Amino acid sequence: MADILKETPLKAVQVEALVVMKLIKHSSQAFPTTATGSLVGMDVNGTLQITNSFPFPTVDVPATDGHQQDTASNLAAAAPRAKANVAYQNEMIKFLREVNVDANNVGWYMSTSMGNFINANTIENQFFYQKEPNERTIALVHDVGRSSQGSLSLRAFRLSPAFMIAYKEAKFTTENLQKSGLRYQDILVELPLTIHNSHLLTSLLHQLPSDAPREELDFPPNLSALQQDPNTPQPPLFPNFDSLDLSIDPFLEKTCDLLLESIENHHTELNNHQYYQRSLGREQAKITAWQQKRKAENAARAAAKQPLLPEDEWQRLFKLPQEPSRLEILLNSRQVEQYARQVDGFTATASAKMFAVKSNLLPGE
């Protein structure tokens, strides 16, 4: 039975509402530092049920450090794979098992802002949890910036099997990427996520007492209104001037800044690879000239009936430059795609407003 469950791929993620509240509270308290923690639950027929969570201990950074916030954020981002936190996680799971709570580790969670989570720390943490054969773990990402707009941003990710093989070999060269066909879209696999409430909690929510209305109730205007859900908001009959506001969303500005920063990092990595190609070309030209010279010397020595010189001596005299890893370029490309999707979502309403007032903005037309 266990083998059958291991062979069943993960299809969805189900998170308990208690876990969501814990995660939001921890992320809000730790902001702007990255918040990380462990997830426990169980796998039921391809659905990973997350029933509990607990945060990792925070690391105090000396106040004398000039980059205190950056150092604390880096330490928090690397917390899931730290040796001390691994021992802490095992001890917590042992205590949970003693009180008859789900004690199977099913991954880890982290907080982010404006979708800035595709980096080396995230990949290393998920690989640390997912590297064991048939390990059914996920990375739960909570975006504090997007959630502050009123809609919860919670996503579940796993590393793709192709990327797991490539990352285990640690060979992200151009030749290996061409052979494997690995692209930046193949790094992460997103799983559908649902939030679950127990029947007992649902009953409690329906039975919560509310204060009696002190004002006179509004009677329905017609019979069809009696069949409508009273909790469904009705569109206002008066003009809503908030929808005419032409100011650019501050989250859109921040996302565009992060997008430009990722593109600059991408160009920096491309320049490093181009420098490697130029260095490799220069060294190969030197090797070719040396080989031709050695062949001419051996031809002259053969005519004079002298012993020939070794022609593979260039391996000791010349050293080819090491090709830089292409992993950072893949991660930057995936992060640029993430920002582009966010910009597309932010500009949906702004573009409609700008198009509506185009004639006023361009008086010459």
For residue 14, what is the domain's CATH number? 3.40.140.10
Per-residue pLDDT at 364: 56
Residue 26, domain member (yes or no): yes
Q: What is the pLDDT of residues 80-101, one digit of tens each?
A: 777 777 888 888 888 888 887 7
Q: Based on the structure, what is the number of domains in the chain?
A: 2
Could you tell me the pLDDT band of residue 64, with boundaries at 50, 70 and 90?
very low
Residue 229, domain member (yes or no): no
Q: What percent of the chain has pLDDT over 90?
A: 0
Asked if residue 54 has pLDDT above 60, the reply is yes
Domain edge (last residue) among 198, 220, 238: 198
How long, in residues, is the chain? Answer: 365
Give the 3-state secondary structure of residue 150: coil
* Mean per-residue pLDDT, 34-61: 81
Residue 175 and residue 268 in one domain: no
Give the 3-state secondary structure of residue 259: helix
The residue ranking higher by pLDDT, 8 or 86, is: 86
Q: In angstroms, what CA-CA distances link 92 with 57, 102, 105, 215?
A: 12, 11, 10, 52
* Mean per-residue pLDDT, 121-146: 81
Residue 228, domain member (yes or no): no
Could you tell me the pLDDT band of residue 305, with boundaries at 50, 70 and 90?
confident
Domain edge (last residue) among 182, 198, 214: 198
Structure tokens at 68: 């205190």
Strand arrangement of the beta sheet that strand 188-191 belongs to: 188-191, 154-159, 138-143, 104-112, 36-44, 47-55, 12-16, 193-196
Residue 180 and residue 329 in one domain: no
Residue 145 and residue 261 in one domain: no
Residue 208, domain member (yes or no): no
Residue 19 and residue 137 in one domain: yes
* Mean per-residue pLDDT, 177-202: 81
Structural domain boundaries enclosing 321? 250-361
**Average pLDDT over all residues of the chain:** 76
Per-residue pLDDT at 236: 56
Per-residue pLDDT at 246: 61
How many CB atoms within 10 Å of residue 288?
11
* Mean per-residue pLDDT, 194-219: 77
Q: Are 10 and 106 in contact (CB under 8 A)?
A: no
Domain edge (last residue) among 198, 229, 262: 198
Residue 173 and residue 262 in one domain: no
Residue 192 and residue 326 in one domain: no
Could you tell me the pLDDT band of residue 314, with boundaries at 50, 70 and 90?
confident
Residue 187 and residue 288 in one domain: no
Asked if residue 66 has pLDDT above 50, the reply is no
Residue 272, domain member (yes or no): yes
pTM for this model (two decimals): 0.69
Residue 191 and residue 275 in one domain: no
Per-residue pLDDT at 303: 82
Residue 112 and residue 182 in one domain: yes
Residue 95 and residue 171 in one domain: yes
Distance from C-alpha of 319 to C-alpha of 307, rounded to nearest angstrom: 27
Q: What is the pLDDT of residues 327-353, one digit of tens each?
A: 788 888 888 888 888 777 777 667 777
Residue 161 and residue 84 in one domain: yes
Asked if residue 29 has pLDDT above 50, the reply is yes
Residue 173 and residue 90 in one domain: yes
Distance from the Cα of residue 103 to its chain's centroid = 26
Structure tokens at 216: 């006179």
Per-residue pLDDT at 222: 67
Residue 236, domain member (yes or no): no
127: left (phi over 0), alpha (psi -120 to 50) or beta: alpha
Residue 129, domain member (yes or no): yes
Residue 269, domain member (yes or no): yes
